[in-house]
Amino acid sequence: MRTELRRNTSLGLLLMLLLAASLVSATGSTATPSGLPTWKHWIVKIRALDPRQVAEARYRIDASKSTFMVRAFSGGLLWFKGHDHFIAVRDFTGEVRLTPQSISPASLQLTVKSDSLVETRDVFTEQQKQIINKELREIVLKTAQHPEINFQSTNVTGSLASGGQFEARIVGDLTMHGVTRRIVIPAQVSLGSADLRARGEFTVDRSDFKVSATSAFHGMVRVRDKLKFTFDILAQRY
């Protein structure tokens, strides 16, 4: 009895599909005379729902193939006797989530090891770099008390350009030296088949985060409040 029922049901579905196909062939339309969509209409709709385009994509940041720099500007009455500092961030991890073809919804999470920040400029001797790095850890960032710098996005918007290029605006909370402030990061984002690259720069005021600054010449040369961050980050899809 059940076998016969299944056979009759399958036959009925087949006849309905053949009838719909004949209507499409005769009228060139994807709707029946009653105005209802045919099977062809729904197949087109289903094909349009490509899960690779609809589903969220996740990317893991690869620090070994990325650069992340902080520039601290020299200031004070004798600023001309000092040098700007170019600090490299050596150890950081994070994740990017976004929706391909539309970028939004999207998010960015980034964690930096505070003690991985090191001076890179050749204008300083190796001995001077060691002193600067020690002051970075013990005076400026106090890495023993604050071992991580964290960023968590709260809102990401962007406009799609050609060739998988996005102009993104990332709003989120930066926690540094135990203080959290809302910042905005503009970024140019490029999407590949298996990776993502983001480039950009932004500035923060170190005094907003109660970050101390080192000085020289009895305070006549010191680091200014503005810190400029530049990044070129590669993330791999997983």
Please give the pLDDT value at position 215. 47
Residues of the chain with CATH 2.40.128.110: 52-237
Highest mean pLDDT: which range of 13-17, 104-108, 221-225 = 104-108
Q: How far, in Å, CA of 228 to CA of 86, rounded?
A: 10
Express each pLDDT in 131-140 by its tens digit: 889 988 988 8
Please give the pLDDT value at position 216. 43
Q: How far, in Å, CA of 6 to CA of 146, rounded?
A: 68
Express each pLDDT in 49-107 by its tens digit: 444 445 789 999 999 999 999 998 875 333 334 678 899 999 999 999 998 777 788 99
Q: What is the pTM of this model?
A: 0.72
Q: How far, in Å, CA of 62 to CA of 92, rounded?
A: 9
Specify the fold of 52-237. Lipocalin (2.40.128)
| Whole-Å CA distances, 74 to 77, 82, 125, 214 | 10, 6, 17, 10
Name the CA radius of gyration of the chain, rounded.
29
Please give the pLDDT value at position 153. 98
Mean pLDDT of 97-120: 91
Which range is least confidently modeled, 103-112, 137-146, 222-231? 222-231
